[in-house]
Chains A and B, each alone.
Chain A
Amino acid sequence: MLQIKNLHATVDGKEILKGIDLAVNTGEVHAIMGPNGSGKSTLANVLAGRDGYEITQGTILYNGQDLSKMAPEIRAREGIFLAFQYPVEIPGVNNIYLLKAALNAVRKHRGEPELDAVEFLALVRDRMKVVAMKDDLMSRSVNEGFSGGEKKRNEIFQMAVLEPALAILDETDSGLDIDALKIVAGGINQLRNRERAIVLVTHYQRLLGYIVPDFVHVLADGKIIKSGDRNLALQLEEKGYDWVKQETVAA
């Protein structure tokens, strides 16, 4: 589904990604861990197509198509979803209307009929249960005045409605309290299936205790320096990033 080869990318002219190779197949869950500033969010933004993030070398293929030529909205319609590390507040743009427009744009792109207000609301009611979304958040402006945890929950709620093929979740766990983490992780697990790939960016083994990944990668200084299975996350928890870095230097 996703094939990243020797990806180099700059942000405002500064090279942040320095040769990333990663292959993600449908049905897989990949965790990406790594120190602050190593380029995890940069990778997520490059995949979502943010302006100012320039690919200088390498390729990203998504279902065989060159992603670099696609506008962000087309990527979204093709099934790529980014849950933001810092979801932005958009005063004056209603949460629920945005979601309806988003869903219908996706459906139209797929050649499916758009949902009317009644059908849409029924779907929303159903998906709210996935992350136990509070009613009153729905009618507010996008993320406006939401608490940190509520914003994260809203991102996963959007994912539940949009049903993306590839979900990139950037530190969705940070900012969630212990109970909320359990609920949101449970929601993500419900959304996990054989057609969908999930890339989880996280700092904590705790999340991976709930959502068991198929692969774990360590991103440091713009490169994936080690990959493994879920045990790698446990080892990292125990030994820290220095251990991997030293190991790669030694190798």
Chain B
Amino acid sequence: MNGTAIHHYLAEYHRREASNNTPWLQEQGLAALEKFRNNGLPTTRQENWKYTDIGALARTGFITADARHNTIEHHRLDAVRIKGLDCYELIFINGQFSPTHTRLEGLPAGVMVESLGRSLPNPSATVREHLNRYADNDNYAFTALNTAFLTDGTLLVIPANAVIEKPVNLLYISNRQDQTLVSHPRNLVILGANSRATLIESYIGLDKAEYFTNTVTEILAGEGASLEHYKIQQESERSFHIGSTHVTQQKDSRYVSHSISLGGALVRNDITATLGGNGSETILNGLYMAGDRQHVDNHTLVNHLQPNTRSEEYYRGVLDGHARGVFNGKIIVHKNAQKTDARQSNANLLLSDNAEVDTKPELEIYANDVKCSHGATVGQLDENMLFYLRSRAIDEETARSLLTYAFADDVIRRITLQPVRDRLEYSVIGRLPDASLIREFV
């Protein structure tokens, strides 16, 4: 199986080689391709992929999306955009930048928000210095694949001391095309010292399209910088989504992630955060909801490299039907990282007898003066709560929906950006029976 997949992606690489207009990147691309050729796609024999079988993905001969696949009816964007959100916006269709839909008016001086693809032929010193520096091509096969196929995505550079109040919204939309496509969006986010920004990455599938999104985001948070990062995954129910976020943090920086995973047939989200500076802080909030035969896997790795670093992780999962969830939260406290404060919790709600979840905290602690805690739970809806609601005249189904919503909302209500929060609450409720009734409650 792996041989076929390797062969397929190598062929795809060479098919596209002629159109490559970024010679300076070619060496890195080839190196990544070589890693991919050697390592292949992950299998369930690897510890990190034990519960996630990507066989179906590996067997599909996805065609690499290109400029021809950049079509969408204009009116469809309205449904996808986040209502009431005043933001800068870049739109990609099947991974292809769509300049006509860009909204960047009033961008503060010095702040760069642009298509990475457009900046590649004449890269700035910043791009040359940072691109592909924080991504881990050695340990993440899909990241290596992304690097090999790197052609477009978003470049976000915030200079030192700059604050951009409006969020930057990246909409990655996939729709039905005449071929089964793969796109490899690549985002590079560089925050200068003491800068502050909010970034939203949305992945949205339309028309029940079948495709594969293989996305990578690299983030550098400079000294004292602060990033609020949302990843909203609402891919189509027939799609594959593999995404990894690689974050490197310097002294006193703060990185807050809200990863909300609602769509996709097979989904894997990786976040690696490296607390590489004294006093830096990482907050990872996550929610995954899956039903039918969806499979959703969240792996996080928090690396405490330096003293006085803090991490707090809070993930919740709701699994219904025959869905399968995986959560793996690894925390490594390195020898030097004294006074680390690391907390992690993962709670799962199983709504059906056929739903399943595997949750595993992994702590590796090499320092002696640290505070670490973790907890994982798997449970059903609370019978006492259900009875209480029913004794107050609420239908059983409505009561179940209401309690499910309350469980999920515990993550969503940590979102400070009101339009995003509204949109997600709407989406979450939309998945539940008796949606219109539940809406009255919130």
Do A and B pair up? The answer is: yes
Which A residues fall within an 8 A CB radius of B? 48-51, 71-73, 75-77, 81-82, 84, 87-88, 90-94, 97-103, 105-106, 109, 141-142, 158, 162
Number of chain B interface residues as a range: 20 to 34
Are B388 and A92 within 8 A (Cβ)? Answer: no
Q: Which residues of A contact B398 (CB under 8 A)?
A: 101
Q: Which residues of A contact B393 (CB under 8 A)?
A: 73, 76-77, 101-103, 105-106, 109, 162
User: Is B383 part of the binding interface, using a Cβ–Cβ cutoff of 8 Å?
Assistant: yes
User: Is B288 part of the binding interface, using a Cβ–Cβ cutoff of 8 Å?
Assistant: no
Total A-B Cβ pairs within 8 A: 83
List residues 401-441 of chain B with CB under 8 A from any CB of chain A.
Answer: 402-403, 405-407, 409-410, 437, 440-441
User: In the complex the two chains form, what is the Cα distance from A213 to B385 in whole Å?
Assistant: 31
Chain A nearest Cβ from B397, distance in angstroms: 10
User: Is B358 part of the binding interface, using a Cβ–Cβ cutoff of 8 Å?
Assistant: no
B388's partner among A88, A94, A99, A105 (CB-CB below 8 A) is A88
Query: 15 A-B Cβ contacts within 8 A?
Result: A72-B387, A73-B396, A75-B391, A81-B391, A82-B391, A84-B388, A92-B405, A92-B410, A94-B441, A101-B394, A101-B441, A102-B393, A103-B393, A141-B406, A162-B392
A90's partner among B383, B388, B395, B410 (CB-CB below 8 A) is B388
> With A77-B393, A101-B437 in contact, is A93–B384 under 8 Å at CB?
no
What 5 additional pairs, Cβ within 8 angstroms, besides A51-B387, A97-B442?
A76-B391, A91-B406, A101-B437, A105-B393, A109-B393
> With A71-B396, A98-B441, A101-B440 in contact, is A76–B390 under 8 Å at CB?
yes
Which B residues fall within an 8 A CB radius of A? 382-385, 387-396, 398-399, 402-403, 405-407, 409-410, 437, 440-442
Chain B nearest Cβ from A142, distance in angstroms: 8
Chain B nearest Cβ from A181, distance in angstroms: 23
User: In the complex the two chains form, what is the Cα distance from A141 to B403 in whole Å?
Assistant: 12
Q: Which residues of B contact A50 (CB under 8 A)?
A: 387
B385's partner among A51, A82, A90 (CB-CB below 8 A) is A90
> With A88-B385, A92-B406 in contact, is A73–B390 under 8 Å at CB?
yes
Q: Which B residue sits closest to A90, measured CB to CB?
A: B385
User: In the complex the two chains form, what is the Cα distance from A241 to B390 in whole Å?
Assistant: 35
User: In the complex the two chains form, what is the Cα distance from A92 to B384 in whole Å?
Assistant: 15
Chain B nearest Cβ from A49, distance in angstroms: 8
User: In the complex the two chains form, what is the Cα distance from A98 to B392 in whole Å?
Assistant: 8
Q: Which residues of A contact B383 (CB under 8 A)?
A: 51
Chain A nearest Cβ from B170, distance in angstroms: 30
